Structure 1
Amino acid sequence: MTNKTALAAGSLIAASLLAAAAAAAPGTAGCGTGSWIASTVDLCAGVLVYRDYVLDHYGAIGGGSQRWNGGALSEPLGGARYPESSDPISLIKYADLVALRMWIAGGRLHVSFEMNALFTAGQTFAALAIDTDDDPATGGGVWGSLLAAAVFEQGDPDTTAIDTGANTISGSIPLPPGAHWRIQAVTGITLGHNVFNVAFRSGEPESAKPNWWFERLQAQALSAAGGGDISAFGYAVDVAKLTGGVTERAAPGPGYYERVYLSDYTVAQDPQDPTKQVYDSGAEGYINGASSSATYGVPGRRSAAGLLGQWVSAVGRYQPYALYLPAGPAPHGLQLHLHGLTQTHAAQVEQPGAQQRFGEDLNRILVSPLGRGPYGWYSDSSERDVLDALADAQANYAVDPERVFMSGYSMGGYGTYYFSALYPQRFAGFVDWVGYPGDGCERTPIANTCPNGGPSNVYEFFENLEHVPGAMLYSGEDELVNYQQGESVRERFSELALPHVF
């Protein structure tokens, strides 16, 4: 058993929680549940509920590039690697913190960390640090020293098990002294006690760009240049609110955020090999094994493989989307803004001028789904993700249903055509930047001149756009979505006698 004494830095107490303990947290019904804005805290009948970004488990800068199913336009800044380096990090996730719940009962402080995945007991550690007088002069500082002083291994008497079914790591420590605390927390892998994820990082969306996975501040702080100092990331606790059973809900105002919703669609075990998982019963690849680096689309589609093929890499039940809330009066308009190939949900909302021109000037909420990964092509489960992100935004904010618009870039332009044509009753209009028609432009006037990609040819759905106004922009020098594809759109509009100006 390793050292679990109080730390020397002032009145800071740290506990590492590597196994499950205690009963479920009380008082959480209707609070701290459902979808959330990342890095916010709710108090729910005396239970502190912090909920994190998801898919942000990349640790410090360095260590080589991550094996994410993307490319240059979706690489994280952090370079921490799991031991299972043959599998994509997007499919491992057992150091990816989802939520932290903390409450007081029986003279002890109980804590439960929920992870995005837990496969084997002992793979993951979670650690909590408490400055018991919330005074930077007597506590806080570099996380590395806190970790070294307070790592608990599996089998410690304060911890009993890891619940791989609920993906939780729970335990309790004697109630710390003090009326006002400042808490910090991390999660990571037990091998080398490497920190992958830091809690309470509310400033990520407004940090320097690009920040594809909302982890730039984390990576910088944990790096050698940052000295491992995560003292900027913490939360001040009024202990009386925990003991008094107080309920306070987070209510973030206008601004740029990551929002996370709970999907009804996840993954299943492979009936031929229960140690592996598949996206669906006919998928062409494993999502947790050596036979494939990703989950490919529906077999038989042209897009099942290849450089521009469709595959799904964000497979869990927690799915993120980028969100911008304007300062104007409600009800707001809403604009879905779909990212391009190899990009993430942050890509388009972070574009220069996007938040001002589309969000503030037009008083629109901007919603940019991940689409189940950088190669989802907004079809199949990626299509479901877009609809679910839209539904979540409309359920949580005042949206004028007559002012819902679709937009997207490149692959997102393909999605813009796809959604505007298949769901024309839902959109007041669309904007398409170099939108790809799909399927290598087969069955179009420019067959075999386009790169392959996209599971359907949206060119065939254009007649549904008769009552959906839109604007389309193409470039004569675009090497992927070439000018011939813009020409094919114009020709199809002419063939269908759709009013247009070219």
Structure 2
Amino acid sequence: MSQKRRNGDRAEGSPSSPPRPGPDALYGPNPTPPQLENGEGWDADPLLVSGHDAYRDGEYLYQDYVYDDHGADTRRFTAGSPSNADSLGGILSQPTGDLHYPNDGERYSYNGADLLEFRARPTAEGVVYRITLNTMLEPDAAAIAIGIDTGGSDGRTDWGHGLGELGAPVDHVLVTWGTGAELDGEPLEDDRVTVDVRRNQIEVEVPLEPADETWRHYCVTGLWNDDDGEFRQVAVSPDEETPGGLKRGSQNVPPVFNVGFRFDEPYDRHVGALDIGRGLFDVLDVTGIGHNLLDLVWDRSARVLGEGNWREHAQSLALANRDISRFYADIDFQRLREGTTDDASFEAGFHSLLYPSRYYLGEGVDPDHDVLEGRIQPYNVYVPENLDEPAPMVLLLHSLGGAYTQYAVYMPNLVKQLAEAHGAVVLMPQARGPGRWYKREAELDIFEAWRDLETRVEIDRSRVTISGYSMGGFGTCMLAAQCPDLFGRGFSVVGPPSEDPIEGLTGGLLKAPSKLTNDLFGGEGGGDVLNVFAQDPESALEITDNLRHVPMLIWNTVGDPLVPVLSPENYARKLRRHGYRYQFDVFPVATHLSLGIRDQWDRAPEFIARGKVIRNPRRVTYRQVPELDHPEVGLVHDGAYWVSDIVTQDGEDAGLVDALSLADGYGDPNLRRFRRVGQTPQRHLSRGLQWEQPDIDQRRGPENALEVTLEGVAEATLWVEEAGLDTDTELTLRVDSDSEATLTLATAFDTHEIEVSEGESTETVVLDDEAEKKAAAA
């Protein structure tokens, strides 16, 4: 070895402080993207709590959901989409509404009528309304209609402008399409209408005088047809100009994609035997005669598998019935003039929240890749009863084809049991789509949602755990290994250890042909048949080394055709070979979906509740895999705890650092294997490893020494003080490396580069001036 010391000012690129757990996206303030900016006359901060309203700073605000712009319910989920329709995939995240945007992505981006926020305030000349859309590429692509009921007794329910009957009686109808507006059919002056495409905002001032009265408001959005001067009508199938979704031969539905002021959108699921049976009957009954007869005696046909997948179930049924009268806001103009503040509450239960992303990935929806690209993204959170802050947190990841609402819709008991077991807040991110496999933008989404949640609730970072179902189980295995210093425990339910099923079945020995994973069923441009795999499938089998301090609970089933039990068996075998703590429960009479359908989770919440994040353990093992990094969005997984900045050798697939501090002495834990049969939540076989304290004669040290093993590593940084070592005395460094490498020993003030040769070597290192004087005197 040879030593090079840096004193005083650090060289460019040298470490400046110990690494923080997780990526940079988890830290710092939220950004303010254009949609959340306030122009002249507007001061209130946005709510970012969907389905809520408030009075703030003399303004009325309503925050809508995002990506809930699916219009009326026109067909059952078994009927499929109309021809030529492009939309987000995901069997467990289908909306109840059936409208589809025109296939002009440059104008609508499959999200062009998505209401984000509604605001109102009185002015000297009337009332000004501000509408913010989630996506706006052209100023006149969308149309907004605001119905105003001033309390008159003869309000009309046909709003005109191609909207027709809406069931909500109003005295005035304001319609704007960005570049113009009409009030009760009369054009407003140009200076009363402004549109800001950068901010996705339209402002309209109307010459109405509410004084101190309370007026009822309704709001709908759709697409504008400038040629006909009305909302663009819906056809059976969409084309470049016309939206689709109308059921052939059925009556017309309103050309509305989104309705405002929805405060009670429901959650429910339709996955019982009767629901599935009725759905299969509808598929087989091609004539429709049997369906019509059955409807006369038993109306059990589920419109979708889940109500509330995109928080628009009530909206879609109301539009199908042409009656939106239940969706309104009574705006009190006296409170607005008085500047009253009456904010949104954050009570126990499920909440749909929005966060602003730091990254611009595009606009609207990319149906080819199944990605939500906008700067404003949704996530769900469950707040337990009697929240005590700082609170533990459980990160709960959705399945392939699911959404941020999956657990509220399909498995609410899982959420409630995880939360109430130890008063934890449960974070359920969207991950930018239904099937991104928690890489790149999907992983980024998780940490940005987490960052936003911490602006609302104080989270105890020492009590954070992670879990997920199916693809969410895969994400659990991946993120727990990539960021082991963030999580105390992991709980994977029917999760595959690899995105590639062949790799999982063979324990990493073989991989599926690229034709399958990057062509037919996935890849950069989306799969030719289905989007099942993201580009370049990843595997948690590669990085099990990193789970030394993250005990794992793994539940899988024998009757699972999607995740054959051999795959998680291979994953458990890797943990066993490492000597890591795990419990692998196999359910012999369950299937891939049955655990979720039963929604019973005895034992799992107690396991999660015992999770405690280890901050600076005395032994750190970390495998860095460059192909798992995405530096373009700030995601680089190159270390954990007091090991950072691992650089893999050129030509190697991965680099492994196994570093041991003898500061307090160390002995490997004794391993106790167990095997038992359990009955809850249903019959299963458990196998696993537990740690027990090592015998006293097995411990080495204490000694001011580091022992490091390097495999395929070109560079790495070790933070000496975080490893518990004394910088005031000489440090012994013992290294076993399979190639030449550079180790940087970092302290609070200095860094020391150690050139390591291939093979075993030992060196005594002096870390600061005081230690150097002591060494010279000796």
TM-score bin, normalised by smaller chain: 0.7 to 0.9
Q: Deviations over 1:161-210 (max 9, x none)?
A: 53222211221111343611221111111246221111111111446643
The residue that corresponds to 2:86 in the other structure is 67
The answer on 1:343 being equivalent to 2:402 is: yes
TM, length-normalised to structure 1: 0.79
- Could you say what secondary structure the match of 1:387 adopts? helix
**What is the rounded CA distance, in whole Å, between the counterparts of 1:478 and 1:267 in structure 2?**
36
Pair 1:406 & 2:491 matched: no
Pairing 1:450-465 to 2, within 5 Å after superposition: 453=533, 455-465=537-547
* 1:239-276, Cα deviation, whole Å (9 max, x unpaired): 111112223321231121211100011225xxxxxxxx
1:12 paired residue number = none
Distance 2:155 2:343 in 1: 28
Distance 2:330 2:92 in 1: 36
Q: Counterparts of 2:378 and 2:368 in 1: how far apart (Å)?
A: 19
1:165 aligns with 2:184: no
Which of 373, 381, 384 pairs up with 1:326?
Answer: 384
Aligned residues of 2:469 and 2:492 also touching (Cα < 8 A):
yes
| Alignment check: 8 A CA contact 1:42 1:248 kept | yes
2:335 to 222, 235, 241: 241
Q: Which shifted more, 491-500 or 146-155?
A: 146-155
Query: Radius of gyration: which is bigger?
Result: 2
Residue in 2 that maps onto 1:10:
none
Higher relative contact order (CA 8 A, sep 6+): 1
Deviations 1:381-417 (A, max 9, x none): 1101001111211221132222211001111111101
Q: Is the 8 A contact 2:437 2:499 kept in 1?
A: no
**Alignment partner, residue 33 of structure 2:** none
Whole-angstrom distance in 2 between the partners of 1:89 and 1:338: 33
Q: Quick one: distance in 2 between partners of 1:437 and 1:110?
A: 54
DSSP 3-state at the match of 1:250: coil
Task: Please state how far the C-alpha of 1:82 moved relative to its aligned partner.
Answer: 1.7
Two-structure CA RMSD over aligned residues (Å) = 2.9
- Map 1:47-196; keep pairs closer than 5 Å: 47-62=59-74, 65=81, 67-84=86-103, 91-133=109-151, 144-145=164-165, 151=175, 154-155=179-180, 156-159=187-190, 160-177=193-210, 179-191=213-225, 193=231, 194-196=255-257
CA contact (8 A) 1:340 1:408 kept: yes
- SS at the partner of 1:127? strand
- Residues 256 and 381 of structure 1: is their aligned pair in 2 closer, same or farther, counting only changes over 3 Å? same
CA shift digits 1:37-68 (9 cap, x unpaired): 10212322111121110000001011763632
CA spacing shift, 1:169–1:89, aligned 2, 3 Å: closer
2:265 counterpart of 1:204: yes
C-alpha distance in structure 1 between counterparts of 2:447 and 2:157, whole Å: 43
User: After superposition, what is the alpha-carbon deviation per residue over 1:338-393, rounded to whole angstroms, capped at 9, x for unaligned?
Assistant: 01111111112331412331223432211111101001111111101001111211
Partner of residue 326 from structure 2, selected from 222, 229, 232: 232
* Matched residue type, 2:201: T
Give the whole-Å Cα distance in 1 for the aligned partners of 2:117 and 2:165: 24
The residue type paired with residue 134 of structure 2 is N
CA distance in 2, matches of 1:255, 1:355: 10
**For each residue in 1:273-294, what CA deviation from the matched residue of structure 2 results, as whole angstroms up to 9, or x when unmatched?**
xxxx8x9xxxxxxx76xxxx43
Cα offset, 1:120, TM superposition? 1.9
1:476 aligns with 2:536: no
Change (3 A) 1:220 1:158: farther
Match of 1:433 in 2: 493
Deviation digits for residues 284-317 of structure 1, max 9, x if unmatched?
A: xxx76xxxx434xxxxxxxxxxxxxxxx510000
Give the superposition deviation at 1:322: 1.3
**How big is each residue's C-alpha offset from its partner over 1:186-240, in whole Å with a ceiling of 9 and x where there is no partner?**
11112462211111111114466432100000001000xx2x1111111122211
Q: Structure 2 CA distance, aligned partners of 1:89 and 1:493?
A: 51
Q: Distance in 2 between matches of 1:370 and 1:461?
A: 24
Q: Is the 8 A contact 2:144 2:219 kept in 1?
A: yes
Q: Do the aligned residues in 2 keep the contact of 1:205 with 1:256 (CA within 8 Å)?
A: no
- Preserved CA contact (<8 Å) 2:97 2:313: yes
CA-CA distance at 1:439 after TM superposition: 4.6
- The 1:87/1:107 distance shift into structure 2, 3 A limit, reads closer
* Aligned residue type for 1:32: D
Distance 1:104 1:495 in 2: 69
Are the aligned partners of 1:44 and 1:247 in contact in 2 as well (CA < 8 Å)?
yes
Q: How many residues end up aligned between the 2 structures? A: 435
Report SS of the residue matched to 1:462.
Answer: helix
> Using a 3 Å threshold, how does the CA distance of structure 1 residues 91 and 407 change in structure 2: closer, same or farther?
farther
Amino acid at match of 2:214: H
Residue matched to 2:53: 41
By how many angstroms is 1:491 displaced?
Answer: 1.6
How high is the TM-score relative to the length of structure 2? 0.52
Amino acid at match of 1:377: W
Show structure 1 runs of 5+ residues with no match.
1-22, 269-276, 280-286, 296-311
More displaced 10-residue stretch of structure 1: 231-240 or 205-214:
205-214
| Counterpart residue type for residue 198 of structure 1 | V
The residue type equivalent to 1:157 in the other structure is L
Q: Aligned to 2:566, what secondary structure does the other structure show?
A: helix
- With 365-374 and 69-78 compared, the bigger mean Cα shift is at 69-78
Identity %: 29
- C-alpha distance after superposition, 1:111-149 (max 9, x if no partner): 11111111223221112122223x8x7658677446996
Question: Could you tell me which amino acid in structure 1 is paired with residue 115 of structure 2?
Answer: L
Secondary structure at 1:112 match in 2: strand
User: Higher mean Cα deviation, 65-74 or 422-431?
Assistant: 65-74
